[in-house]
Amino acid sequence: MKYVLDASVAFKWFVPEVNSDKAIVLRDDFRNAIHELIAPKFFPVECTHSITRAERQGRITQAQGLQALADLLAMLPDLHSVLPLLPRAYEISSSMRVGVYDCIYVGLAERENCELVTGDDKLVKTLQPMFPFIIPLSSMP
């Protein structure tokens, strides 16, 4: 199965949170070639931002953050160019009043005809009624 991977899910690989166990199963399935994971090219930057924020909040140490970054870079999903996705992301963002970064993930899933897995409950609540291919991480096995 192919999934667009939201950075909120990958973050749970490194920092224990609700549904981290489900995120780790998805990661392990990706490593074992059971699933294909794709993401926009800014995905590693967004993940790194979340890791450094967790460090500033005292949730992880600097050493843990550096290890998380190394692990992330060793298992990146297939990264897709953002530029072709911008017109559609703009349309979604403008009509749904949602940030364009989130809408790029939605546009990628729409274009690739696959599901978007996210740990962002607000994104699910706001966009899933219009885009039923957005699935919460909590619904994953």
The pLDDT tens digits of the residues spanning 3-44 come to 999 999 999 999 999 999 999 999 999 999 999 999 999 999
Give Cα separations from 72 to 7, 37, 113, 136 (angstroms). Answer: 11, 13, 25, 21
pLDDT at 90: 98
Closest CA to 138 of 25, 51, 53, 33: 25
* Superfamily of domain 2-139 in the CATH hierarchy: 5'-nuclease (3.40.50.1010)
Closest CA to 13 of 114, 119, 135: 119
Give kind and range of the element (H or E) at residue 54.
helix 43-56
For the question of whether the overall pTM of this predicted structure is more than 0.85, the answer is yes
